[in-house]
Structure 1
Amino acid sequence: VCEHSGQPQGTMANLDSSNAIVTQPLGHNEQGGRISNTPGDIIVGTPNDSPEHECTTGTTLSNVVSDVVVRAIEEGDAEFVGRLEMESFRSKYEWAVGKNRVEELATIRQNRYREICDKNCRVFIAEYKNNRAGMLIIKFHGYKAQGSSTCYFRERLGCSGACGYTMLLMCMESTDIDPADCYIDCICVDKEHRGKGIGNILMDRAEHEAKAMGCSKMTLYVAQNNRAVSLYQRQGYHIFEDADGCCCAWCAFGIRKWYGMSKMI
């Protein structure tokens, strides 16, 4: 979690600078909880890592990584997104459904991404030299959680797995988003592509999309023991809530202490 949480730990990657291509104009809208997702080794820019840059609406973000393209999700990306999500947040999903059901859950999550059609939920894919390398999910006011069937989950995951996954969705699929906010629901980078500044580019894309939607604030939630906390602070985020998920969050993720963080844009 910014956390998607249950985050693996790792080392902070280096950030490079150059040009990143954005394939749609800012604010472009395509199909693609209050608990969001970022692994512990997510790449986030610091004042010394990433020079100031501005967006030229429609195509290019200057002074960020070359050879990186950020585009809206397409149907063929669902398998990649589901796999990356499972690899990045495996401990969280294992807690929810059990180790022996994680692969089945990956299939469920892949299908879920194929069905996203809410204009207030946007999923972006980062490509590095034409290879898919990362993902970003942001949500805006008016987002409506996808419908789900506990009977379907029970058939695929068993009774206990269905209960765990349903609890997880209750925490993740928050629709209580302020009209001024852009909520970062999930951001992660494939382990083979870390160290290229891709996480930084995805964070930038989130802010540009938010501005295009008229938002004035970015928000996210992150586990208090996640090393990404200090990185978000360097990115300009401030803690606005010290949350104790003693019941729901603990049952859903196995993580009790969270920070709500925000940044004015």
Structure 2
Amino acid sequence: MEPTAEPVAPSAVTLQPGTTRSRFQTGAEQGPIHIRRVEAQDIEFAARVALEAFHDKVEYAVGKSRMDAAIELTTSILHRSPQLWHRYYVALYEGKLAGTMVIKFHDDKLVCMGYALMNTNIGPTQCYVDTVGVDAEFRGKGIGKALMERADVEARQRGCKSLFLWVTQNNRAVRLYERQGYVITHSFGGWFTGWASGCRDWYNMEKNL
């Protein structure tokens, strides 16, 4: 099904180091971090970094020897599914692909992680931050922060009142999310989530807009 028309933020976000908020641009000026929607030439990178963001869980699901095959399969699926691209974003640092993000809304489906965590619903005024991943070469440069700021912008454009995400309790990214205004609303998990995802203990984190 083709996605319905919706208001969108400017196609590019440029973030200068040391700034506290993004500047939206569609012109020629470029800052170190530039965020845009995924394009065909980005698919292999986006698929790889998205899976690497869940490396332990993907490896648990498919086995260490099949990680490369999982990346190839995900790349192939995305190449054949341009109707999904409007939910994928890439960050470029000085013109080089550096990170990726996937967000979802009420009319989208939570599939793999949704079933594993026993929750497949996104509320009508919610935005789900599915994936934020930064290539190892570019970590520590504020790219994750910039991607999450873009999620805020997209959520506001859709009229959302909050964003939420799921993260394992021992993930260092919890601190990043807290700095971005997310709070832990509750913890969840157990034998089924451990069996399905390889991780028993999770946080639900939310941010009000």
1:217 equivalent in structure 2: 162
1:77-133 Cα distance to aligned partner (Å, 9 max, x none): 1111222234333222111011121111111111222214148x6100101121100
Match of 1:204 among 129, 132, 149: 149
Q: TM-score normalised to the size of structure 1?
A: 0.65
Match of 2:187 among 235, 242, 249: 242
Segments of 4+ in structure 1 off by > 4 A? 172-175
Letter paired with 1:136: M
Percentage identity across aligned positions? 37
1:140 aligns with 2:105: yes
1:26 aligns with 2:25: no
1:53 aligns with 2:21: yes
* Contact preservation (8 Å) 1:242, 1:260: yes
Letter paired with 1:117: Q
Match of 1:117 among 83, 98, 106: 83
Distance 1:94 1:229 in 2: 21
Match of 2:66 among 101, 116, 119: 101
Residue aligned with 1:124, SS:
strand
1:231 equivalent in structure 2: 176
* Contact preservation (8 Å) 2:22, 2:146: no
Letter paired with 1:99: K
Distance 1:207 1:105 in 2: 30
Structure 1 gaps, min length 5? 1-24, 29-48, 147-166
1:12 equivalent in structure 2: none
Structure 1 residues 106 and 243, CA gap change in structure 2 (3 angstroms): same
1:83 aligns with 2:83: no
Letter paired with 2:187: D
Q: In the TM superposition, what is the alpha-carbon distance from 1:173 to its structure 2 partner?
A: 10
Structure 1 residues 174 and 264, CA gap change in structure 2 (3 angstroms): same
Letter paired with 2:204: G
| Larger RCO: 1 or 2 (CA < 8 Å, sep 6+) | 1
2:129 equivalent in structure 1: 184
RMSD over aligned Cα atoms: 2.8
Residue aligned with 1:242, SS:
strand
Residue aligned with 1:185, SS:
strand
Distance 2:21 2:51 in 1: 32
Distance 2:34 2:87 in 1: 16
* Contact preservation (8 Å) 1:55, 1:208: no
Letter paired with 1:255: C
1:252 equivalent in structure 2: 196
Letter paired with 2:156: K
Residue aligned with 1:106, SS:
helix
2:208 equivalent in structure 1: 264
* Contact preservation (8 Å) 1:145, 1:173: no
Structure 1 residues 186 and 254, CA gap change in structure 2 (3 angstroms): same
Structure 1 residues 131 and 240, CA gap change in structure 2 (3 angstroms): same
More helix by share: 2
* Contact preservation (8 Å) 1:138, 1:185: yes
1:203-225 Cα distance to aligned partner (Å, 9 max, x none): 10000000011011010011011
Q: In the TM superposition, what is the alpha-carbon distance from 1:169 to its structure 2 partner?
A: 7.3
Distance 1:189 1:174 in 2: 26
1:209-252 Cα distance to aligned partner (Å, 9 max, x none): 000110110100110111222332222111112111421x2122
Distance 1:90 1:137 in 2: 16
